[in-house]
Amino acid sequence: MKIKNFITFEGGECSGKTTIINEIVKMFDEMKISYIQTREPGGIKIAEEIRDIILDINNTMMTPECEALLYAAARMQHLKEKIIPNANMGKIVLCDRYLDSSIAYQGVARGLGIDKVLNVNSFALDYLPDLTIFIDVLPEVALKRLSLRDKTDRLDLENNEFHNLVYKGYHEAIKLYPDRIKVVDGNQPLEDVIKDCKKIILDYIGE
C-alpha cells in the first residue's frame, strides 16, 4: 500500500538535508500548503527515546543486528503514530530519512545485506514513500565537511570506509527503487540544490 503525500529526504552525513527541508517548509508556509515535518529515527516520544539509545556515543558494543532492529522499531512506531494519521488527514509528510537509510547504513555499510534489512523492515515495506529525494554528495566532499563538524553521535565516529559504503548503499537503493528515488546533485552550491529540490516537489504536488 502507498500512503499519499509521503515525501522522504535521504543522503549521507553533511548532505545538507536539514537545511533543504527547512527551505521546503518555508515554501509550503508561503503557499499555505498543509504539511508536517518529521525525522527518523525519532519524530515522536518513543522513537526519540530509541534514537538516544542508538546514537549514544557510549553504546560502542551495539551489534549491527541490534542497530537495524532498533531503527526498524522506531520506524514502525513513527509510521503508525504520526506518518499514517497525518498523511490520511491530507497533509504532506516531509520526513528526514526513512527506509533507504537502513538499506544504505545497515544493509551495505554495516554489511548485514539488503535482503536482511528489508526483512527486518517488512512491516514498513507496506508503506513506502511516494517520493524520495536523495541528495547525492560525493563521499570525498561529504568527508571534508564532516571533518569540520563536531563529532556528536556514535555514527559520526565511523571511518571514511564506512561513509564510502553508505554512498554505495544509497546507489543500491536507487537501483531497487528507480521510480521513487529522485537524485539531486548535492555537490553544487546549496542554493542550486534547494532550487532543484523545490522543483521536484512542486512537479510532484502539481503546483
Binding mask of the shown chain, residues 3 to 42, with x at each position contacting ligand TMP by CB under 6 A:
------------------------------------xxx-
Q: Which stretch binds ligand TMP (CB under 6 A): 25-33, 93-101, 123-131, 199-207?
A: 93-101
Specify the residue, 18 or 188, whose C-beta has the smaller distance to ligand TMP.
18
- Using rule CB under 6 A, residue 134 touches ligand TMP: no
Q: Which stretch binds ligand TMP (CB under 6 A): 26-34, 81-89, 97-105, 140-148?
A: 97-105
Specify the residue, 39 or 182, whose C-beta has the smaller distance to ligand TMP.
39
Reading the block at residue 5, the C-alpha cell is: 503525500
- Using rule CB under 6 A, residue 101 touches ligand TMP: yes
**Which of 21, 102, 181, 201 is in the footprint of ligand TMP by CB under 6 A?**
102
d(Cα 10, Cα 28) in Å, to the nearest integer?
19
- Using rule CB under 6 A, residue 105 touches ligand TMP: yes
| # residues contacting ligand TMP (CB under 6 A) | 11
- Using rule CB under 6 A, residue 129 touches ligand TMP: no
Q: Where on the chain is the footprint of ligand TMP (CB under 6 A)? A: 39-41, 71, 96-97, 101-102, 105-106, 155
